[in-house]
Amino acid sequence: MASESRSNAPSASTLVLGVVCALLGAGGALAWNAFGPGGGNKAKVEAIVRNYLLVHPEVLPEAMAELERKQSAGQLAGVRTQVEDASARTVLGNPQGKVTLVEFSDYACTYCRHSVADVDGLIAANPDLRVIVRELPILSPGSADAARMAIAAAEQGRYAEFHKAMFEAGRPDPAGIETAARAAGLDMARARTIAASPAAEQELVRNLTLAKQLGFSGTPSWVAGEEMLSGALGKDRLAEAIAKARSR
């Protein structure tokens, strides 16, 4: 099925041509309609685009950004509802926020730890921001144990407290997880029961499946509107993505 999907999809060069023609405005659109897919002469389109880019190379970054946006939107189209589903209650910021930032995170990830302050700053600056954290424990066995306890904390309405305490505790080993859970004020007997439940395991499996569908292979990874981003990007870059998501 994957090979069929690839063969039926437009090539990257065709997508670039289409995006650049769109950026050219009405003239580019006329050229694409006349010579693009179905028009029978891609070589003429390539010549038009090439000549334009030689004169106006500054449009190429904009074209590539638009191509990346369209590719991201395509990947998100079938799973957006699941990605933005907050039923596990692993949420920071405003649970009823009008704009959503999704973070795929691992408690053993140094870059995720460095991003905590950035996310806190974004929440402070955006009262309408909902941050959904998708626990993605891919770095160590302790990551999975911490992620299960985080889900248990969410069940008690103490997710934000545990999330902060777990990153402050350092590596997610048994002692660190216990310390973070107690610092978050969890009912420990209830938390251990939820952490060991099939529901907690199913949530982790779902997050891993979503990450694979979106092409994420590491943490932190982010979804904001139609943008998919990876890495410790800093507050300013994430703020830019949030602003774009709000404007759509």
What is the rounded CA–CA span in Å between residue 197 and residue 127? Answer: 34
What is the rounded CA–CA span in Å between residue 50 and residue 106? Answer: 44
DSSP letter string, the chain: -HHHHHHHSPPHHHHHHHHHHHHT-HHHHHHHHHHSTTTS-HHHHHHHHHHHHHH-TTHHHHHHHHHHHHHHHHHHHTTHHHHT--TT--EEE-TT-SEEEEEEE-TT-HHHHHHHHHHHHHHHH-TTEEEEEEE---S-HHHHHHHHHHHHHHHTT-HHHHHHHHHHH-S--HHHHHHHHHHTT--HHHHHHHHTSHHHHHHHHHHHHHHHHHT--SSSEEEETTEEEES---HHHHHHHHHHHHH-
Which domains are present in the chain? 2-77 (no CATH), 82-247 (3.40.30.10)
Per-residue pLDDT of the chain (248 residues; tens, 9 = 90+): 333 333 333 444 444 555 555 544 444 554 545 555 555 566 776 777 777 777 777 766 665 555 455 555 566 877 989 999 999 999 999 999 999 999 999 999 999 999 999 999 999 999 999 999 999 999 999 999 999 999 999 999 999 999 999 999 989 999 999 999 999 999 999 999 999 999 999 999 999 999 999 999 999 999 999 899 999 999 999 999 999 999 87
Per-residue pLDDT, 23: 47
Per-residue pLDDT, 6: 37
pTM for this entry:
0.72
What is the rounded CA–CA span in Å between residue 102 and residue 3? Answer: 30
Per-residue pLDDT, 60: 61
